[in-house]
Amino acid sequence: MGNTVIESFEDIIIKNVGCGKYKGRKAALQLIKYISGNSIVPENQKLVRYTGGYGVPGYDPDLCCEAMYIVKKLYRKTSPKLRCIYHFIISFPACIDDINIVKLTAIDLCQYFYYKNYQCMYGVHNDTENLHIHIAVNSTSFISGKQMDLSINELKTLTNDLKKRAFVILKENGF
């Protein structure tokens, strides 16, 4: 466990990757494979310590993508003009060196999306100086079929909510 204590949730960096990207099933599958460490592009293969999902089989990228696509077909949200998936990267300060705490954080953040009725999967990556989590979230609710379409302000609010949740987990575990 790291000796340094993080002071604020602002020490956690969250990026929403690919605004306007990830349209269509193929783009979703490429992202899910990347997150799981099974990239279609060999130089994008990553060392991924943990993967999982909520509402999807997080252990299998193809089945995960298929489960998300079934929801989209059910609610007729398969137009190539619609955003298919959201991609979030949660990056921790270097003092957070306990990969199990990062996995616990990934699980909590995925539960957050699942309880809002969106399928998601995560991968915990340790291929850089900082441990980080990639999360893919289906943009179509599995309950209502509502398409997640976040404004800039809604995205900022969501990002802050995710940072605060991650910060609480870190503080509860001694960081």
Query: In the prediction, which pLDDT does 127 show?
Result: 84
The answer to whether position 2 is within a domain reads no
Count of beta carbons in the 10 Å neighbourhood of residue 34: 22
The answer to whether position 3 is within a domain reads no
The answer to whether position 127 is within a domain reads yes
CA-CA distance, 165 to 128, in Å (whole number)? 23
For 149-172, write each residue's pLDDT tens digit. Answer: 888 899 999 999 999 999 999 999
For 25-45, write each residue's pLDDT tens digit. Answer: 888 999 999 999 887 666 656
Tokens (6 digits) for 42: 């060999």
The answer to whether position 7 is within a domain reads no
**What residues contact 10, with CB distance under 8 A and at least 6 apart?**
163
The answer to whether position 32 is within a domain reads yes
Cα angle 65-162-160, degrees, rounded to a multiple of 5: 130
Query: In the prediction, which pLDDT does 129 show?
Result: 86
52 pLDDT tier (thresholds 50, 70, 90): very high
Count of beta carbons in the 10 Å neighbourhood of residue 144: 9
For 60-83, write each residue's pLDDT tens digit. Answer: 999 999 999 999 999 999 988 888
The answer to whether position 5 is within a domain reads no
The answer to whether position 34 is within a domain reads yes
Mean pLDDT, the chain, whole residue set: 89
The answer to whether position 54 is within a domain reads yes
Determine the straight-line distance between the first and last CA of the chain, rounded to whole angstroms. 8
CATH classification at residue 86:
3.30.930.30
Integer CA distances (angstroms), 68 to 38, 82, 154, in order: 18, 14, 23
Integer CA distances (angstroms), 89 to 18, 49, 86, in order: 11, 15, 10
Query: In the prediction, which pLDDT does 40 show?
Result: 62
Length of the chain: 175
**Over 90: is that where the pLDDT of 21 sits?**
no
For 107-136, write each residue's pLDDT tens digit. Answer: 999 999 999 999 999 999 988 889 999 999
Query: In the prediction, which pLDDT does 46 show?
Result: 65
Integer CA distances (angstroms), 81 to 66, 109, 144, 152, in order: 19, 27, 20, 19
Domain with 52 in it: 15-172
The domain total for the chain is: 1
